[in-house]
Structure 1
Amino acid sequence: MYKTFTSLSITALSCFALQAQNIQGTVFDKASGKVISGATITIKERPKEGTFSDGNGKFNLSLRPGETMLVKMVGFTTYQEHFTSIKEGHHVDIYLTSGVELDEVMITASLANSRSKRAIGTNVDHVDAADIVAKSNPSSLADLVNGRISGAQVYNTNGKVGMPIRFDIRSAATFSMERDPLIFIDGVRYNNSNTADVNSSQEAMSALNDLPMNDIASIDVIKGPAAAASYGAEAANGVVIIQTKRGLSGQKGVAVNVKYTGGISELANKYTKYVNNDALNNFFNTGHQNQFYANLSAKFDQSNSLFFSANSNTTSGTIPGNKDNRQTLRGGYDFSKDNFKLGFTAAYVKGKLSIPQSASGRDDAIWNLMRDQTPWPFISEETWRAIEKSYTNDRFTGSLKLNYTFPFNIKMESLVGLDLNYIDGLNYLPYGFLQGTNSTGAKQISDRRNLNLNWDVKLSRNFALAEKWQLNLSLLSQLTKATESVNGISVRNFAVPGISNIASAAEILNTTDTYFEKRTHGIYGEAFLSYNNQLFINTGVRRDVSNMIGRNVASIWYPTVSVAYNVKPMEFMKGKIDDWKVRAAYGESGRLPYPNDAQTSYLVENSSFGTLVRPLRKGNPDIKPERTGEFEIGTDISFFKQRLGFTYYLQNTRDAIVYTTLLPSLGWPSSLSGDYPENIGKIRGRGIEVTYNSRVFTSSDQKNSLDLFVIFNNQSNKVISSGGRDIINSVNLIREGLPAFSFYTGVSEGALFNSSGVYTGAKESTPQVLGKPFPTYNGSFGFNLQLVNNLRVQSLFTYSKGAKVYNISNRNVASQGNNYKASEDLKALLATQTPGTDEYINTANELSKYAGPRGNFVEKADFIRLSNVTISYDLGSWAKKQTNGFFKSCVLSITGNNLWLKTNYGGVEPQIDSQGGSKRNRGISYLSSDWTAVPAPRSYAMSVNIGF
């Protein structure tokens, strides 16, 4: 009996010992110490069972004694560990080592997931912003991104501080003036519209000015619908995903980083085209920048991490009175325990931007200095300096993210993002200063409230189908809401000097009270299949509904599919080709109609005949978003320390919105000409993107190296259909068979003379096509040089060829003023010659080239620019030794931006746009015009970056 009981006990204990036990673990990158999310954890003896590491690198796995755990991740060697015995709740830290020469990075591939770059079937560019900012001093997002991604030009449209950023991404296959990409910051749908409530769109305040560059960890740029389809009806212009810095990963501890940046800016290129160049050149100031930044990163234990930063930036521009004063606080907290994860971010910005009027108007400084040889013909300099134009803004952005893993490894992620922005605008002319005919003062104020809210909920499940097959299924719901309210009033004629409140004004000029609301709901489903960490297939579809589309349009569907295959080198290729990926993708996304395109409205007004209802706007109940489909194919290859990427894309936009004229016989007034929206346009775009990176030299001790890089882009577009009509605004045209927004206007065909042979002006040709506003070729190149392991020198050149710019500045001066040197010299020469003679006729014909026809001033704008040079020196080891380990790092850097420019453009700055980038605009407007815009400055900055 006793023996039987003992035998049964041993058998029971043995069975208990063989039961599966739950173990927990965290996956780290051995080289960097950072956690790895998305790693595949399987059981060698049971390959169909497994899991993935979450966003904190954590996982849970049920394992039996005697089994072997395998951990795989693209770009790392496979890790395996055999367990002879296991205790319930056992925790293991796993450190993966890099298994390929190319460093792999995690990239936001879609709205649903982040993945290794090797697993993505589209060309999504990743910018390691934290590394760039640590060793240089970019002044804006444009400085940080431009020249570092293929297929895009990103630049400030005006050289003043705080100005808009223009994104020209790929072939721009659209009729829309809305050209900005979607921007997400830590999952928050960011409102990146420009504010121009009390000034012109050329000098609007950029919303992107609110983001401190020092807080950015990484930027992923999704450039076209093939990759952006998961973002739906507003993503055809691309998507920019910004991740800010977070708490420490890996071991417990606290790290503090402080950085000071000081710099100056100046007029980069002198004005040389005028009789009186001195007045213009001497007007510009030397601008100054002082920025203090500090952050704290902490990891208290395996579950809690914290990040906090503070930034104070005071910058003055090259135009007198142009100042930006901005303070930012940002924090982030992450908690992870077992199957639960919580992430919280919050940021507050307080700023004031002063924008003196300097471009595109009668009372602008540069126009008053440029037009006549005697400066300030329309407004006195004293009055101009007395006028105040400014915006004060408060902005809060925050996100709350909750993750929970349910039984059966079903993972739920929910994120709520909020972007709330209050902006107060002021345009104030003090009493006693003459502007036009008014010397008793004027004031305009605006009160703007912008709100963006997004709520994302995602369910996903990973399946180990077989030893080499993995499947991830995701279903995501995204709700976005954007509201905008603007109240304003404009008054003039104050009673007495020194009193400027609105109530004291004798005359109210106008009031504004507008409200706008946009609501969109999208559902996105995605299936991601992988084989042996080598073949990756992704398919998805999104369904969108929005209040911006017509009531007869139920919903819009956007499909996407992509394939990435990583070729295993054959025996004869081993040692020569390190990594080789071929990829292909197709996707569709859209551009929403203009606000109120779908709604019909009437105006109720009183008259002597009683109450009248007058048609105000005819909406289209059938209006749909523009729809762009994009096919992309390419390859990425690494060989002999060289990296080459090639992408070809083809875009087809249908349902492009064209604004047509309603017939008066239908009851709509002729004043609504060109105001009725219809989906009748088509446009096609295509392009090539090439990237090349080369390690040219590495010393035997690994302390010295030289890397070269090149980006080459070729792009074009053509209007396939515009509804059988030409759409033109001043000099820009949309016509079938031509590139969109082609320049189309008359040019001088020679001089006209009166009966006495005296020159009277230019003979203007019929309108003709004179080029396009987008370049045919653009890109960048440069080098990274590392010396003695501490000194780094980096350079960035950017270039563009094939674009033209309408130089309104020179046209207006030549035809309206007396300061344009080329025409004034010819006028003086003509005055010495006899009418009717050959020399007089020849001079008159030459002078006619500077006459009124706009086409005379549509000019080539090719350029090559030394955009950036940075010299940095890492004093970390020395500082650590001198302070007994108190300093953990120390980097000194000097940065120069816009140091040199070579161009065939007749103005002072070829990369400029007086419209201030994208904006809401029915029909089309000017594109690539230079209307006395402030040129990009040359700037120098020095920084000290210390870690504790």
Structure 2
Amino acid sequence: MIKFFTTLGLSMILCSAIQAQIIKGTVYDQSTRETIVGASISVKEHPGKGVMADAQGRFSLQLQSGETLIVKMIGYKQFQKQYTAVKDGQQINVSLEPGVELQEVMVTASLANSRSKKAIGTNIDHINAAAVVATSNPSSLADIVNGRISGAQVYNTNGKVGMPIRFDIRSSATFSMERDPLIFIDGVRYGNSNTSDINSSQEAMSALNDLPLNDIESIDVIKGPAAAASYGAEAANGVVVIQTKRGLNGKKGIAVNVKYTAGFSELARKYDQFVNNDPLNDFFRKGTEQQLYANITSQIDQNNSIFFSANTNKNAGIVPGNQDNRQTVRTGYDFVKDRFKLSLTAGYVKGKLSIPQSASGRDDAIWNLMRDRTPWPFIAEESWRAIQKEYENDRFTGSLKLAYTFPFEIKAESLVGLDLNRIDGLNYLPYGFLQGTNNTGSKQVSNRRNQNMNWDFKLSRNFVFNPKWQLNLSFLSQLTQASEKVTGISVRNFAVPGISNIASAAEILGTTDNTFEKRTHGLYGEAFLSYDNKLFINAGLRRDVSNMIGRNVASIWYPTVSVAYNVAGMDFLKGKVEEWKFRAAYGESGRLPYPGDAQTAYLVENSSFGTIVKPLRKGNPDIKPERTGEFEIGTDIKIFDQKLSFTYYRQNTRDAIVYTTLLPSLGWPSTLSGDYPENIGKIQGQGLEISYNSRVFTSANKKHSLDIYAIFNQQSNKVINSGGKDILSSVNLIRAGLPAFAFYSNLSEGPVFDAKGVYTGAKEGPLQELGKPFPTYNGSVGFGLQLFNNLRLQSLFTYSKGAKVYNISARNVASQGNNYEAKETLKTQLAALTPGTADYISTATALSKVDGVRGDFIQKADFIRLSNLTLSYDLGDWAKKYTKGVLKRCLVSITGNNLWLTTNYGGAEPQIDSQGGSKRTKGISYLSSDWTAVPAPRTYAFSLNIGF
């Protein structure tokens, strides 16, 4: 009997050994063909027996015929395949496709790494920009980002083409006027300063105008210091990471895509607050846009891929003479072989932007049309139209990235990025046209050379301890350098008509020769620990040095730590929770001092008494970057087809720079003594971000569906310390206990009468807080409706509540002109009444509220806007059929932007800012002021997108 059972057992073991074969394999990234370290490999029928891919991406395990192999890795779609016949020693190569689910989207987690969204401890928003641009026809980066990310408002500050973009990200807990995030495009540190060398900051040329929108593949928005700490001393405003399109992601062959766009724009909201509105409304024209874009992608073989694109764009705005002509070419090359990877990108932009003066001055068009019932009181219309204001610019951006995996699986990566920008400005008044007192012509020219360079070097190593525990260590060095050189000259009084060269002018008004250089070096180390694809812990530390900080400040340290824990398969309200993630993070980053804050400077002049050395600027050798620490906590949940994200953050900004006054007795003249920088300011901010995405309907045949989405943001800030003083600029105030840049001005306290009872003006009350320039609540809501698999309707509504705008246009007209309807109507009524009567006093009281007291024109700016509506139809199947496969893609779309607006603001546009976005300004300046800015236009566009 014993012999029988022994024989039976040996037979079973032998049989099992025969059926269960040992297979070997390698796991690859389908897009890059790089091996994947740490992938989880298991057999569906035996889930407890699994292995992990080693440092070369290799694995081996037992697999029987008929069993199913499962391969999983963070950031990739799950691989699952049944093998009907398995041979011993069989080699299996597994290619994993990057994941597309919400939690499996790869985002830029830090300067050191990109990771799956499920592994990130902060709320980083990812935008599939290629899908947005394919149909919605955005005119600027603001159209892509605004309303699609939580915790931010992004909008053009002026309705002309080529204008600046303002970023209001999270609680705006800073005294600084510079509010733009850092921008990286394919690893290149992108120079995003606006240019106003020959015009006002309100009408500056936006550097973001050079971004190739059709080439953008994705955008990751890092919104706060908790996530941006790895970027160091300039990242407190957040970071925008842009990736452009590449090759065909592993599909061998050549593909061509062509997109043609045509559209027009018009004044969206007519002016109605003036007595004579017609000249102003009739001044605006219909703008036009024509754009032709094409790209070629080729996966030459499994190692080589290439991308090339070309774009030409002609965009005329709603203001006569405002036009932006731009041509762009871009290329990218990727080479991957074994342990080596090379990526190369290069882009060139040539543009010409014409910006006729229409805002902020006596000679601008809108001020002349607003001020008096009879328009053009300060400059004749023909003179205004004759003036040329334009910029010509060339821009090159390029990056070279090399990566190699050394023995012991140490991966080295090096990236060099370069951004070169030449900008030539011209402001020219021809001879014979009168501007002010000058009718013999004038000319101002500027030549600007901007350069941004960054060099990143990284070493990383992934340690696989067992199938559940992994540790990734990274160390990175980053060097950034930015320089500007601006030269210019301004002349007037040409000798004869038709001659306009600089040498022919009789008078030189002034010259410009400015240089600026900023250098920063950062070292960043990061440890990323993961357990069972559920728990992720990240800790990092960055050290920065910069020539912008004082000589007594050796360096600044910025820590970051985050944790994310994912739970799946839980019962929740009798439903199945597909994904549930808890996350928390803390990090710090900064804002560098203003150029020159650290250095003392003197002016050397020659005089009849000899050489004189005069004090010019008192620098602070102890000046440090402003530092913002942020704590963030949140959760993401997916149940059925409902996705909800909740984030709470709290910011604490210290070392905010306050400019104080030096005593003249110390040798600094009173005219120069009010700009001594000190790190004495403190401000706190907090906010709540909620986003919701839902598939509310899917038909049985999967051809029809309806998705809805919504974003809700709440934010606030409060100044804790402003150095014991009030900092006031126009109507904006920094004061302890108030929100930053709070509006602070007088309100009318009623009418003033003379001895005969005749109204003589408004009585100004005491200065008081009158609101803030940032909304308390803002967000978006929209839907995506798909019908018959190929017809799609998309909408985007944006909203804002709690912000105010200083309507300086209306105030100036009321106090200086005769065209403000509310005032002129009451003045007419008052003239028909008898002084001293009750009706006279009542009308005079109403008149005092619109007579020009500043605070009476700080107005609510709540709104709801239909920002985008797009109808698209996919003709791909039809095109393939009738072209016999020549056309592989055909998509037509019609887009409308800014189609509808409801607001309680008294001007034409509630989202406006005369400062034109961020501004390199010492101290504070005024924020959210509507000074004859052009309102956002309504735009319509048609596009045809075909692929071969």
Check 1:792–1:860 CA distance in 2 against 1; reply closer, same or farther (3 A cut). same
What secondary structure sits across from 2:226 in the alignment?
Answer: helix
For 1:847-902, what per-residue CA distance to the aligned partner results, in whole angstroms no more than 9, with x for missing partners?
A: 11112321010000000000000000000001100100000010000000000000
Check 1:46–1:104 CA distance in 2 against 1; reply closer, same or farther (3 A cut). closer
Q: State the 1:143 CA deviation.
A: 0.5
**1:638 is the counterpart of 2:638:** yes
Check 1:558–1:37 CA distance in 2 against 1; reply closer, same or farther (3 A cut). farther
Please give the residue correspondences for 1:497-896 in structure 2 after superposition, counting only pairs within 5 Å.
497-570=497-570, 576-896=576-896
Q: State the 1:39 CA deviation.
A: 6.3
What secondary structure sits across from 2:435 in the alignment?
Answer: coil
Counterpart of 1:194 in structure 2 is 194
CA contact (8 A) 2:27 2:36 kept: no
Check 1:905–1:710 CA distance in 2 against 1; reply closer, same or farther (3 A cut). same
Q: State the 1:621 CA deviation.
A: 0.2
Question: CA separation in 1, counterparts of 2:102 and 2:862?
Answer: 35
Question: CA separation in 2, counterparts of 1:461 and 1:795?
Answer: 45
What secondary structure sits across from 2:918 in the alignment?
Answer: coil
Question: Which AA in structure 2 matches 1:92?
Answer: N
What secondary structure sits across from 2:104 in the alignment?
Answer: coil
CA contact (8 A) 2:749 2:762 kept: yes
Question: Which AA in structure 2 matches 1:61?
Answer: R
Q: State the 1:25 CA deviation.
A: 4.6
Q: State the 1:299 CA deviation.
A: 0.2
Please give the residue correspondences for 1:893-932 in structure 2 after superposition, counting only pairs within 5 Å.
893-932=893-932
Counterpart of 1:326 in structure 2 is 326
Higher mean alpha-carbon deviation, 757-766 vs 392-401, is at 757-766
**Identity of aligned pairs, percent?**
73
Please give the residue correspondences for 1:366-445 in structure 2 after superposition, counting only pairs within 5 Å.
366-445=366-445
Check 1:769–1:64 CA distance in 2 against 1; reply closer, same or farther (3 A cut). closer
Q: State the 1:692 CA deviation.
A: 0.6
Q: State the 1:34 CA deviation.
A: 8.7
Question: Which AA in structure 2 matches 1:920?
Answer: R
Which residue among 29, 39, 42 is the counterpart of 1:41?
Answer: 39
Question: CA separation in 2, counterparts of 1:103 and 1:117?
Answer: 5
Q: State the 1:610 CA deviation.
A: 2.1
Check 1:770–1:573 CA distance in 2 against 1; reply closer, same or farther (3 A cut). closer
CA contact (8 A) 1:102 1:579 kept: no
Counterpart of 1:9 in structure 2 is none
Question: CA separation in 2, counterparts of 1:487 and 1:756?
Answer: 60
Check 1:572–1:676 CA distance in 2 against 1; reply closer, same or farther (3 A cut). closer
**1:61 is the counterpart of 2:58:** yes
Question: CA separation in 2, counterparts of 1:815 and 1:462?
Answer: 69
What secondary structure sits across from 1:195 in the alignment?
Answer: coil
For 1:608-653, what per-residue CA distance to the aligned partner results, in whole angstroms no more than 9, with x for missing partners?
A: 3222111110000000000000000000000121000000000000
Counterpart of 1:56 in structure 2 is none
For 1:237-275, what per-residue CA distance to the aligned partner results, in whole angstroms no more than 9, with x for missing partners?
A: 000000000011122111100000000000000100001
CA contact (8 A) 1:539 1:562 kept: yes
Question: Which AA in structure 2 matches 1:73?
Answer: I
CA contact (8 A) 1:795 1:870 kept: yes
Check 1:36–1:819 CA distance in 2 against 1; reply closer, same or farther (3 A cut). farther
Check 1:51–1:494 CA distance in 2 against 1; reply closer, same or farther (3 A cut). farther
For 1:691-738, what per-residue CA distance to the aligned partner results, in whole angstroms no more than 9, with x for missing partners?
A: 011111110000000111110000000000011110000100000000
CA contact (8 A) 1:47 1:464 kept: no
Question: CA separation in 1, counterparts of 2:436 and 2:572?
Answer: 80
Question: CA separation in 2, counterparts of 1:328 and 1:604?
Answer: 45
Question: Which AA in structure 2 matches 1:504?
Answer: S
What secondary structure sits across from 1:539 in the alignment?
Answer: strand
Question: CA separation in 2, counterparts of 1:336 and 1:899?
Answer: 47
Counterpart of 1:13 in structure 2 is none
Check 1:664–1:399 CA distance in 2 against 1; reply closer, same or farther (3 A cut). same
CA contact (8 A) 1:191 1:419 kept: yes
Check 1:102–1:447 CA distance in 2 against 1; reply closer, same or farther (3 A cut). closer
Gaps of 5+ in 2: 1-21, 43-47
Q: What is the TM-score with the length of structure 2 in the denominator?
A: 0.94
Counterpart of 2:246 in structure 1 is 246
Check 1:764–1:69 CA distance in 2 against 1; reply closer, same or farther (3 A cut). closer
CA contact (8 A) 1:39 1:71 kept: no
Question: CA separation in 2, counterparts of 1:695 and 1:66?
Answer: 39
Check 1:772–1:440 CA distance in 2 against 1; reply closer, same or farther (3 A cut). same
What secondary structure sits across from 2:39 in the alignment?
Answer: strand
CA contact (8 A) 2:28 2:36 kept: no
CA contact (8 A) 1:35 1:249 kept: no
Counterpart of 2:14 in structure 1 is none
Q: State the 1:756 CA deviation.
A: 1.4
CA contact (8 A) 1:107 1:116 kept: yes
**1:258 is the counterpart of 2:255:** no
Question: CA separation in 1, counterparts of 2:234 and 2:888?
Answer: 44
Question: What's the C-alpha RMSD, in Å, of the aligned pairs?
Answer: 2.1
Q: State the 1:607 CA deviation.
A: 2.4
For 1:362-389, what per-residue CA distance to the aligned partner results, in whole angstroms no more than 9, with x for missing partners?
A: 0000000000000000000000000000
**1:125 is the counterpart of 2:122:** no
**1:72 is the counterpart of 2:73:** yes
Counterpart of 1:304 in structure 2 is 304
Q: State the 1:69 CA deviation.
A: 9.5
Question: CA separation in 1, counterparts of 2:637 and 2:876?
Answer: 35
Check 1:22–1:431 CA distance in 2 against 1; reply closer, same or farther (3 A cut). farther
Q: State the 1:674 CA deviation.
A: 2.3
CA contact (8 A) 1:784 1:794 kept: yes
CA contact (8 A) 1:420 1:451 kept: yes
CA contact (8 A) 1:220 1:242 kept: yes
Gaps of 5+ in 1: 1-19, 53-58
Question: Which AA in structure 2 matches 1:112?
Answer: A
Question: CA separation in 1, counterparts of 2:34 and 2:781?
Answer: 32
Q: What is the TM-score with the length of structure 1 in the denominator?
A: 0.94
Check 1:184–1:391 CA distance in 2 against 1; reply closer, same or farther (3 A cut). same
Q: State the 1:574 CA deviation.
A: 8.0
Question: CA separation in 1, counterparts of 2:256 and 2:155?
Answer: 32
Question: CA separation in 2, counterparts of 1:464 and 1:269?
Answer: 61
Counterpart of 1:27 in structure 2 is 29
Counterpart of 2:336 in structure 1 is 336
Question: CA separation in 2, counterparts of 1:572 and 1:718?
Answer: 39
CA contact (8 A) 1:290 1:314 kept: yes
What secondary structure sits across from 1:122 in the alignment?
Answer: coil
For 1:99-143, what per-residue CA distance to the aligned partner results, in whole angstroms no more than 9, with x for missing partners?
A: x97562100010000011111000000000011111221111000
Higher mean alpha-carbon deviation, 341-350 vs 101-110, is at 101-110
CA contact (8 A) 2:34 2:339 kept: no
CA contact (8 A) 1:70 1:80 kept: no
Question: CA separation in 1, counterparts of 2:528 and 2:622?
Answer: 35
Question: CA separation in 2, counterparts of 1:797 and 1:713?
Answer: 14
Question: CA separation in 1, counterparts of 2:850 and 2:638?
Answer: 53
What secondary structure sits across from 2:826 in the alignment?
Answer: helix
CA contact (8 A) 1:39 1:72 kept: no
Counterpart of 1:495 in structure 2 is 495
What secondary structure sits across from 2:856 in the alignment?
Answer: helix
Question: CA separation in 2, counterparts of 1:542 and 1:378?
Answer: 55
What secondary structure sits across from 2:671 in the alignment?
Answer: helix
Question: CA separation in 1, counterparts of 2:229 and 2:103?
Answer: 27
Q: State the 1:212 CA deviation.
A: 2.2
Counterpart of 2:18 in structure 1 is none
For 1:270-307, what per-residue CA distance to the aligned partner results, in whole angstroms no more than 9, with x for missing partners?
A: 10000110000000010000000000011011100000
For 1:645-665, what per-residue CA distance to the aligned partner results, in whole angstroms no more than 9, with x for missing partners?
A: 000000000000000000111
Question: CA separation in 2, counterparts of 1:483 and 1:757?
Answer: 64
Question: CA separation in 2, counterparts of 1:532 and 1:791?
Answer: 42
CA contact (8 A) 2:892 2:945 kept: yes
